[in-house]
Amino acid sequence: MGDKQRIGVRYCGGCNPRYDRVAVVNKLASLLPQAELVPAQAGAAYAGALVVCGDVSAVEAALREVLRVLHETLRFTPAEITRS
């Protein structure tokens, strides 16, 4: 088996005290043994990124911005964002 995929993790400002953000990331790490979740550092390369945020509106706004950049730079065709 190869090396683990490094995933950079960033946390939001923590304005939602109703859940433990670190516990969520630790649980996710236990479910993804092929990944190594590490604190994201500026300029470092990662196989993926995880932004942990408890505000649904902030998550939606961030996703829209990512899709906009992907569309404008890579001609990516974005899918509709839905809430579930």
Where are the chain's structural domains?
1-53, 55-84
Hey, what are 35's tokens? 């990944």
Which pairing describes strands 48-52 and 35-39: parallel, antiparallel, or unpaired? unpaired
Q: What angle do CA 40, 59, 15 make, to 5 degrees?
A: 80
Query: Confidence class of residue 73 from pLDDT cuts 50, 70 and 90?
Result: confident
Confidence (pTM): 0.61
Q: Do the beta carbons of residue 49 and residue 35 sit within 8 Å?
A: no
| 8-34: pLDDT as tens digits | 998 877 777 777 888 888 998 999 999
